[in-house]
A and B are shown apart, each in its own frame.
Chain A
Amino acid sequence: MEEEVIFVSSDILVGEVAKIKVKGFRFVTMSCVELDGNTVNILYHFDKDLMLKHLRLTASKDSAVPSISSVYFAAFLVENEIQDFFGIRFKGLVLDYERTLYLDEEVKIKPFCRYTLEKSDQKEPVTPKNATGS
Chain B
Amino acid sequence: MLKTIIPFGPQHPVLPEPLHLKLTVEDEVIKEALPALGFIHRGLEMLANIRDFHQTIQVVERVCGICSMMHAMCYCQGIEEIMGIEVPPRAKFLRIIWSELHRMHSHLLWLGRFADSFGFESLFMQFWKIREKVLDINEATTGNRVIVSVNVIGGVRRDLNSEQMRWILSGLSWVGDEIGRLETTLLSDYTVKKRTVGKGVLPKERAFELGAAGPTARASGIAQDMRMLGYSALDQLDFEPVVETDGDCYARGKFRFCEVLQSINLIRQAISVIPEGEMRVKVKGRPEGESFSRIEQSRGELFYYIKANGSKNLDRLRIRTPSFANIPALLGMLPGMWLSDLPVVVLSIDPCISCTER
Binding site for B on A (CB under 8 A): 1, 3, 26-29, 31-34, 43, 45, 49-50, 52, 54, 72-74, 76-78, 95, 101-103, 113, 115, 117, 119, 122, 125-126, 128
Q: How far is the CB of A18 from chain B (nearest CB, A)?
A: 13
Chain B stretch 290-331: residues in CB contact (< 8 A) with chain A: 292, 294, 301, 303, 305, 307, 310-313, 315-316, 318, 320, 324-325, 327-329
A33 touches B209 (CB 8 A): no
A77 touches B228 (CB 8 A): no
Q: Complex Cα distance A68/B157, Å? A: 44
Known: A29-B318, A122-B310, A126-B50. 13 other contacts (CB 8 A): A28-B301, A28-B303, A29-B303, A31-B316, A45-B303, A50-B228, A74-B325, A102-B41, A103-B38, A113-B46, A117-B50, A122-B311, A122-B312
A50 touches B310 (CB 8 A): no
Q: How far is the CB of A133 from chain B (nearest CB, A)?
A: 19
A26 touches B43 (CB 8 A): no
> Which of B229, B307, B316, B324 meets A1, CB within 8 Å?
B229
Chain B stretch 197-228: residues in CB contact (< 8 A) with chain A: 208-211, 224, 226, 228
Closest 8 pairs (CB-CB, A-B): A102-B38, A74-B211, A29-B320, A74-B328, A31-B318, A33-B316, A27-B211, A31-B305
B312 touches A50 (CB 8 A): no
Q: Cβ of B52 < 8 Å from any Cβ of A? A: yes
B313 touches A126 (CB 8 A): yes
Chain B residues with CB below 8 A from A128, complex form: 50
In the complex formed, the residue of A with least CB distance to B301 is A28
Q: Cβ of B245 < 8 Å from any Cβ of A? A: no
In the complex formed, the residue of A with least CB distance to B357 is A102
Chain A residues with CB below 8 A from B52, complex form: 125
> Which of B37, B211, B318, B324 meets A102, CB within 8 Å?
B37
Q: Complex Cα distance A55/B97, Å? A: 35
B38 touches A101 (CB 8 A): yes
Given A33-B316, A125-B312: A101 in contact with B37 (beta carbons within 8 A):
yes
Q: Complex Cα distance A115/B228, Å? A: 41
In the complex formed, the residue of B with least CB distance to A34 is B316
In the complex formed, the residue of A with least CB distance to B356 is A77
The interface bits of chain B over 172-185 (1 if a CB of A lies within 8 angstroms of the residue's CB, else 0) are 00000000000000
Q: Complex Cα distance A33/B45, Å? A: 12
A73 touches B46 (CB 8 A): no
Q: Cβ of B149 < 8 Å from any Cβ of A? A: no
In the complex formed, the residue of A with least CB distance to B49 is A117
Interface of B is mostly: mixed
Binding site for A on B (CB under 8 A): 34-38, 41, 43, 46, 49-50, 52, 208-211, 224, 226, 228-229, 292, 294, 301, 303, 305, 307, 310-313, 315-316, 318, 320, 324-325, 327-329, 357
Most-contacted residue by chain B among A3, A29, A43 (CB, 10 A)? A29
Chain A residues with CB below 8 A from B325, complex form: 28-29, 74
Q: How far is the CB of B297 from chain A (nearest CB, A)?
A: 14
> Which of A28, A54, A113, A125 meets B320, CB within 8 Å?
A28
Chain A residues with CB below 8 A from B315, complex form: 33
> Which of B228, B292, B328 meets A3, CB within 8 Å?
B292
In the complex formed, the residue of B with least CB distance to A31 is B318
Q: How far is the CB of B52 from chain A (nearest CB, A)?
A: 7
B318 touches A28 (CB 8 A): no
Q: How far is the CB of A45 from chain B (nearest CB, A)?
A: 7
Q: Complex Cα distance A49/B225, Å? A: 10
A26 touches B46 (CB 8 A): no
> Which of A28, A34, A73 meets B328, CB within 8 Å?
A73
Chain B residues with CB below 8 A from A119, complex form: 311
Q: How far is the CB of A69 from chain B (nearest CB, A)?
A: 10
Q: Complex Cα distance A103/B41, Å? A: 10
Given A26-B211, A29-B303, A73-B210: A50 in contact with B292 (beta carbons within 8 A):
no
Chain A residues with CB below 8 A from B37, complex form: 101-102
Most-contacted residue by chain A among B36, B211, B327, B357 (CB, 10 A)? B211
In the complex formed, the residue of A with least CB distance to B228 is A50
Q: Complex Cα distance A43/B294, Å? A: 16
